Chains A and B, each alone.
Chain A
Amino acid sequence: AQSVAQPEDQVNVAEGNPLTVKCTYSVSGNPYLFWYVQYPNRGLQFLLKYITGDNLVKGSYGFEAEFNKSQTSFHLKKPSALVSDSALYFCAVRVFKAAGNKLTFGGGTRVLVKP
């Protein structure tokens, strides 16, 4: 079984300050980890993913995430948040196996960036 936890329902941050959105996962095997963002009345947009290699992954719109195997975490970060970053963020995991496309999503974290 695989699961994802996003412990914060909402994160509030002032514009220009660092933004962190937390994600922890549980899988039996090596994980593939993803971050998606959803703006109002839109579908999910892919931000970045970790497959293998460097633990620090850089993605779209200045976002990055750090894979930490010992803490089973994959936190999303942005050094300086913008008001336009206000949206719903989802972490997702897939375990490496021979078959199956199932991607398990966390419950989502709403980010509110205030001017």
Chain B
Amino acid sequence: ETGVTQTPRHLVMGMTNKKSLKCEQHLGHNAMYWYKQSAKKPLELMFVYNFKEQTENNSVPSRFSPECPNSSHLFLHLHTLQPEDSALYLCASSQVLAGVRGEEQYFGPGTRLTVT
């Protein structure tokens, strides 16, 4: 595996539920990311955290709420989701070096979310 773990691997939730996705990276990286992967759509960047600070929110609806308590952990809190939010949610991490933008990202296995 890549050193990035995600739990749970599968989640089924109703539209009125509240749940959280968890990501942990064991690579000592300083940046973490949430992506959404839907069928027949390109991979969509949702949020970026650098040194625990959110640096990018890609116009994500407020029913998705990220949290980064430290550089190794990233959460995605979910509430009042819609069926179209069903997708594979991928977490990634990278080591960002000042002035260098060539670092690759390492991905977790994803959480398959189904909203009923």
Q: Are B109 and A43 in contact (CB under 8 A)?
A: yes
Q: How far is the CB of A15 from chain B (nearest CB, A)?
A: 27
User: What A residues does B64 contact at CB under 8 A?
Assistant: none
Whether A90 contacts B43 in the complex (CB less than 8 A), given A43-B109, A103-B105, comes out as: yes
The A interface, classified by DSSP as helix, strand, loop or mixed, is loop
Within 8 Å of chain A (Cβ to Cβ): is B106?
yes
Residue among A43, A45, A90 having the largest count of chain B Cβ atoms under 10 Å: A43
Which residues of chain A from 9 to 67 have any CB-CB distance to chain B below 8 Å in the complex? 32, 34, 36, 41-46, 49, 51
> How many of chain B's residues have a CB under 8 angstroms from any CB in A?
26
User: What A residues does B90 contact at CB under 8 A?
Assistant: 43-44
Contact with A along B49-81 (1 / 0, CB 8 A): 010000110000000000000000000000000
Q: How far apart sit A83 and B86, CA to CA, in the bound complex (Å)?
A: 30
Q: Are B45 and A46 in contact (CB under 8 A)?
A: no
Q: Are B107 and A101 in contact (CB under 8 A)?
A: no
Q: Are A106 and B56 in contact (CB under 8 A)?
A: no
Residue among A32, A34, A36, A103 having the largest count of chain B Cβ atoms under 10 Å: A103
**Of the residues A45, A46, A96, A105, contact of B101 by C-beta under 8 Å:** A96
Q: Interface residues, chain B, CB within 8 Å of chain A? A: 2, 4, 6, 31, 33, 41-43, 45, 48, 50, 55-56, 90, 92, 94, 96, 101-102, 104-110
Of the A-B pairs whose beta carbons lie under 8 Å apart in the complex, a sample of 28, sorted by A's number, is: A34-B104, A41-B110, A42-B109, A42-B110, A43-B2, A43-B6, A43-B90, A43-B92, A43-B108, A43-B109, A44-B90, A45-B2, A45-B107, A46-B104, A49-B102, A49-B104, A90-B43, A96-B101, A100-B101, A101-B31, A101-B33, A101-B96, A102-B45, A102-B48, A103-B105, A104-B45, A105-B42, A108-B42
